Chains A and B, each alone.
Chain A
Amino acid sequence: MIADVGAQLGLAYAFVEREVALSKRYWAWEIVWLVYGIVTSLSVAYIALGAPGLSGGSGDPALVSRFVLYLLVGTITWRFLGLIFEQMGETIAWERWEGTIEYTFMAPVPRLTHLLGMCAATLVRAVGFSVAILAAVALFVPVDLSHANVASALVLLATGAVAFIGLAIGSSVFPLLWTEKGLQMAYIVQAVVLLVSGVYYETTILPGWMQALSFISPATYVIRGMRDALLDGADLAAVWPNLWPALLVGAVSIPLGLRAFLWAERYAKRTGRLKRSG
């Protein structure tokens, strides 16, 4: 039993090692994503610094610094969740592009182990990127974490990661079903989630039908909870109203995503959609 768990971890590690090696070889692209992430977050922070001048407001420094943090929490949390969504979501699409997909599906690796390995690799990269972005942004704009409850924030982030992994596994299925347009569909889903999750604003300003989507997006709760924790020092009890919906999404989306993946794999093997050339 223990030996078996060890063996599965060894198999899962193969994917981590592979993804790290790929990151190294595609280092120029990784730099692009990193710079892109830093610049996006930084320019969002500057919106807050510039807002008082635009609105002719007083520019109360406490309010400005609160707004800076408000936007930064949104943009960096979104980036973190987005990195998870993209990399996990490309589990199939990437390997299809490389041409290795049949070798991965032919290997004696249980699908659960395969996806677990991809999750681990994804988390390593998402955490690394997010920390780097935060550090880089803090060099340029004042980040006031004096009221922050970091523990609550980390719990929320971890929960959000789990929820997004489930959703990403679910959406990685698209390329298995539609070899041509599947990945594009996954990106559209992600874009809509950005719009409705209140990354840069309160969801209450959205039209009713968008708010309905906000209600089902786990990012809405994670970002709202992160703000409570980092701006107002909310403890776990105080963020609970935002924690449990994200937990619920995780608890539902992971088994559901896995089911969908296994079903799609069977479908692809029945219809010849895994790969067809040769």
Chain B
Amino acid sequence: MAVQIREGVRTEKKTAALAASGVCKAFRPARVTPGGTTVRAVDSVSLSVWRGEIYGLLGANGSGKSTLIRLFSTLLTPDAGTVRVFGLDIDRDELAVKRLINRVSVEASFFKKLSAMENLVYAGRLYGVAPEESRPKIVSILRRLGIEDARMTEPLEKLSRGMQQKVAIARAFLSTPMLLLLDEPTTGLDIRSKREVQTFVRDLRDEHDATILLTTHDLDEAARLADRIGILHQGRLVAEGTALELAARHGGGSLEDVFMTLTGRRLDDADASEPERPT
């Protein structure tokens, strides 16, 4: 199923679901912090994600993953460079692009007092999905993600972090996006939820012709899910390829070694917040 594409092969007749070229984003510090310098969060990133592909962006905390995802989902305007989604310019055809994409962020981001059902029906409406259509769909997605019917009508704040994250994934999936942007979808989940989410992501791509760009700071996850991996370091894309290609190009060994060679640090060092990764 995995689409093996060698780096640099742009001439092949493949549809680019996402094409970014020379994208830059810097943040100026708030005036109140003295001596603060401009942060180059994303630095001349060019990448393409092919239709049907799962592309994994691997990077430590602060490497610019979330910023890149926000740039791709119209929540930030790039300082330089262009982004195209299925050929549409993200700036000029903003509304059309918005219809094609959806995003899951690290934090679940819901109306806390509303139930999963209420939140999702609302989200569906924003994408033009009527409640008659969305309700059965919501129930089936949530069941599949292991959420019992009774929990669907409880205020969302009563659900565990893992369940909330599953609801967030269901929300993104509800609008049947052509391009799904997942920003660390499994960070902070227990191993079981993590596996469920990963399986769902795979199934999504296989069954629904979705293209997925996923960020992670979990090497296993990148290796397990992604057809191609890009390594982001201090805002720059320092390497790109399949796990095998990356290993071959950077002196063999595991993905972990490759990461170490390229960035000079172990990914785990930045991952102290992850409870289930023993070191």
**Which residues of A line the B interface, CB within 8 A?**
7, 10-11, 13-14, 17-18, 21-22, 25-26, 98-100, 102-110, 266, 269-272, 274-275, 277-278
- Look across to chain A and name the residue whose beta carbon is closest to the beta carbon of B32: A180
Chain B min CB distance to A265 (Å): 10
CB pairs A–B below 8 angstroms (15 shown): A10-B125, A11-B126, A11-B128, A18-B114, A21-B118, A22-B113, A22-B114, A102-B75, A103-B171, A106-B98, A106-B103, A107-B123, A269-B77, A271-B27, A278-B184
In the complex, whether B198 has a CB less than 8 A from a CB of chain A is: no
| Bound-complex Cα distance A255 to B257 (A) | 58
Report yes or no: B111 in contact with A107, Cβ–Cβ below 8 A: no
Of the residues A14, A106, A270, contact of B122 by C-beta under 8 Å: A14
CB neighbours (8 Å) of B122 from chain A are 14, 17-18, 21
Q: CA separation between A274 and B113, bound complex, in Å?
A: 22
Further 9 A-B residue pairs, CB within 8 A, beyond A25-B114, A102-B103, A110-B95:
A7-B128, A26-B113, A102-B105, A105-B74, A106-B98, A108-B127, A272-B76, A278-B105, A278-B183
Q: Is the interface of A mostly helix, strand, loop or mixed?
A: helix
Q: In the complex, what's the smallest C-beta–C-beta distance from B41 to chain A, in angstroms?
A: 8
**Known A25-B114, A278-B183; contact A269-B103, beta-carbon cutoff 8 A:** no
Is B165 positioned at the interface, with any CB of A under 8 Å from its CB?
no
The answer for the CA separation of A21 and B130 in the assembled complex, in Å, is 17
Within B72-114, the residues touching A (CB, 8 Å) are 73-77, 95-96, 98-99, 101-103, 105-114
Contact A100 B111 (CB under 8 A): yes
Is B66 part of the contact surface with A, judged by Cβ < 8 Å?
A: yes
Q: Does B98 contact A25, Cβ atoms closer than 8 Å?
A: no
Q: A269-B76, A271-B28 are in contact. Are A108 and B98 (CB under 8 A)?
A: yes
Chain B residues whose CB sits within 8 angstroms of the CB of A25 once the complex forms: 113-114, 155
Q: Is A100 a contact partner of B109 (Cβ separation < 8 A)?
A: yes
A103 touches B123 (CB 8 A): yes
Q: Mark B163-178, 1 if CB is under 8 A from A, else 0.
A: 0000000010000000
